[in-house]
């Protein structure tokens, strides 16, 4: 699965009336491609997928694929807590020419491990596209356990996992128990370097909207054996990561994009915008980061 070092879980730009803003989507994609993004994930958590209709997801994916024009891989977030709907979205993604799909652990229903295995395997079996699993217990409540991931990895087109459990021991168990060509990506920006250190592949990031080049630099430094340089960058980035998750995602990153001259509009309810005091956290973190990187 060609995700590269840094995949960006793309925000969905909205116009003032709350509809998808396709002009701003074009600008955002050009910004991401120019600033460290190796692949882009459409309609994931950061893209506010729970508030997007099936039609919106299909139309947005078609548009992104057209704009990207094969410059980087486009991965479609087709996972939901409804297996039949996930299959519908997956088939649509394949027809659209997506390079892969991302399937999140089913939320709210609270399936057990057998249920999750059945859900993921059934979707994988209706497509030839490579599959990126997505484990995020903080949002879905259920945790896709290593033994289930290892079993799913034996299905030919299940190629990788975005691990956002925050549990490095769990990630290590997955790496140890899967084939060398199965890739483990961090779903937490702050765990990118620690995951690389235990054999992970890279990051599916939110912060890459803002610091994508610096994240690329950190990963490449590690890959080239420049461990101190990678560690210095990691420490300098941690406050930025913290600030960009100081409120529910993607509220802070959309604010930061606006400040960076890449407007993507507001968020859909039930998410709400930050107030001035909350926005100051983002401003201060980015200012300190800029000062520190000049020193580094």
Choose the catalytic residue: 107, 117, 134, 185.
134
Please state, in angstroms and rounded to a whole number, the distance separating the CA atoms of residues 152 and 150.
5
58 is catalytic: no
Choose the catalytic residue: 57, 58, 159, 162.
162
> What is the enclosing helix (H) or strand (E) of 104?
strand 100-104
The DSSP line for 25-90 is HHHHHHHHHHTT-SEEEESSTTTTGGGS-HHHHHHHHHHHHHHHTTSS-EEEE---S-HHHHHHHH
Buried b (16+ CB within 10 A) or exposed e, 152-172: bbeeeebbbbbbbbeebebbb
70 is catalytic: no
* Strands, E assignment, 117-225: 131-135, 158-163, 183-186, 202-205
Token code pair at residue 154: 């034996």
Please state, in angstroms and rounded to a whole number, the distance separating the CA atoms of residues 201 and 281.
30
User: What amino acid positions are annotated as catalytic residues?
Assistant: 134, 162
């Amino acid at each position: 699965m060609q995700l590269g070092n840094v995949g960006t879980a793309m925000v969905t730009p909205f116009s003032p009336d709350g509809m998808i803003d396709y002009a701003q989507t074009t600008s955002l994609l050009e910004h991401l491609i120019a600033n460290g993004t190796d692949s882009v994930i459409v309609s994931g958590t950061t893209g506010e997928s729970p508030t997007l209709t099936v039609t919106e997801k299909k139309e947005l994916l078609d548009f992104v694929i057209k704009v990207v024009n094969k410059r980087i891989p486009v991965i479609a977030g087709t996972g939901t807590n409804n297996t039949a709907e996930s299959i519908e979205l997956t088939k649509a993604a394949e027809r659209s020419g997506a390079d892969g799909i991302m399937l999140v652990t089913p939320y709210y229903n609270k399936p057990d491990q057998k249920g999750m295995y059945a859900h993921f395997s059934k979707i994988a079996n209706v497509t030839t596209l490579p599959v990126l699993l997505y484990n995020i217990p903080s949002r879905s409540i259920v945790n896709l356990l290593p033994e289930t991931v290892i079993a799913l990895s034996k299905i030919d087109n299940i190629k990788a996992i975005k691990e956002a459990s925050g549990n490095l021991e769990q990630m290590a168990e997955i790496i140890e128990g899967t084939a060398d060509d199965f890739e483990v990506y961090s779903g937490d920006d702050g765990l990118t370097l620690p995951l690389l250190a235990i054999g992970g592949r890279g990051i599916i990031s939110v912060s890459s909207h803002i610091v994508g080049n610096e994240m690329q630099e950190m990963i490449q430094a590690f890959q080239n054996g420049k461990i101190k340089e990678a560690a210095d960058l990691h420490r300098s980035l941690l406050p930025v990561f913290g600030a960009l998750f100081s409120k529910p995602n993607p509220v802070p990153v959309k604010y930061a994009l606006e400040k960076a001259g890449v407007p993507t509009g507001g968020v859909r309810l039930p998410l709400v915008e930050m107030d001035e005091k909350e926005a100051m956290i983002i401003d201060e973190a980015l200012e300190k980061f800029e000062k520190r990187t000049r020193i580094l």
